[in-house]
Amino acid sequence: MKLETVVDVYKKGMAALLILMVATLLAVMGFQIVLRYFFNSSLIWAEEVCRYLLIWVSFLAASIAYERGEVAAFTLLRGALPDRIGVYLAILCNLCAALLCAVLVVYGLRFAEMVGSQPIPALRFLFEDTLKWSQESVPSVYWVYFSLPLGIGLLGLRFVIDIFHYIAILKRGGKADDLRSEGMGEAV
């Protein structure tokens, strides 16, 4: 299987997952609003579930937003430098960003393991008390905290991929802005 095929499947799968998560978030919150304002009732678990969905969407969408150039980038210095030096600066910036992401992944996993053992309160109520499922079926808070290392890890991987693209641009004598014209992300 070609790398382009894997990347295309990843992009389409991630887009579908994000759409599903946002649709679920909107449906639950919409239902909560209807219950609260029209029936003077509410779902105890709705706001917490929506908060967790929003956290997951934010971290998972970061790499896609970066790739589409929707993340703020400061390219004034890079653009003022000669083309070759600008590409070197872009490589250095992406390398630093990838290293920061690696540190955040390591410490994010540590934090998730350290404090993530208790069940998610809203889902505990929903699964155990309402649906009468077993306590083992309730996801733990670990999965909420896991969104940070996963999302930041995907973003870091994107930075590393761009480093290889910048190296290819450097070999053919291009400039850092060529990455954007090729449909790739924008340097940090």
Give me the residues paired with residue 140 across strands: 119
- Nearest alpha-carbon partner for 141 in 167, 120, 124: 120
* pLDDT over threshold 60, residue 69: yes
pLDDT at site 149: 96
- Domain locations in the chain as residue ranges: 3-181
* Per-residue pLDDT tens over the stretch 125-181: 777 766 777 777 778 889 889 999 999 999 999 999 888 888 888 888 776 666 665
Q: Which of 140, 139, 130 is nearest to 44 (CA)?
A: 130
Q: What is the pTM of this model?
A: 0.80
**87, 166 contact by CB (below 8 A):** yes
Nearest to 183 by CA among 6, 8, 1, 2: 8
